[in-house]
Amino acid sequence: MKEFLTLLSPIFWTLKNELLSSGRSFYKKAFFYTLSSLAFILLVTKLLISGMCELQNLSPEIFNIILIKGYSLIFLIIFFVQVINGAIMSLDRYYQSDELTILLTSPVNRTALFFFKAF
C-alpha cells in the first residue's frame, strides 16, 4: 500500500504544480470543460426522462420491462466499456511512458506500476 501511495505522489504533485503555475487561460479552460460536462449531463438526463414519459404511454408491463432490462443493459455496457477503456489506457500509458526506464529499474512491483499508470 505504501509503495502504491509513493507511486501516486507524482500525480498529486503534478496536479498541485499545474494549479499553482497555471495562468488565467488554464482556469478559463477548466471552467469551460466543467460547464460543458454539466450541460451534457443535463441534456442526457432530459432525454432519458422524456423517453421514459413516452414509454409510460405504453402499457405498464412493457414500460417496466423496458425500464428494467433496457436500463440494466445500458449500465452494463457503460460499465464494460469503462473497464476495457481503463485497461487499454493503462497498457498504453505503461508502455508509452517516458519515465518507464527509471521506474522499471527501481525496486517496484510491476503490478503496482501498472495500476499506478491506470490513474
**x/- site string to another protein, residues 85 to 114, per CB under 8 A?**
-------------xx-xxxxxxxxx-----
Q: What is the dihedral of CA 28, 33, 38, 44, to 10 degrees?
A: 150
Name the minimum Å distance from CB 26 to another protein: 13
Name the minimum Å distance from CB 115 to another protein: 15
Task: Count other Cβ atoms within 10 Å, centred on residue 93.
Answer: 15
Q: How many residues lie near another protein (CB under 8 A)?
A: 21
Site membership for another protein, residue 37 (CB under 8 A): no
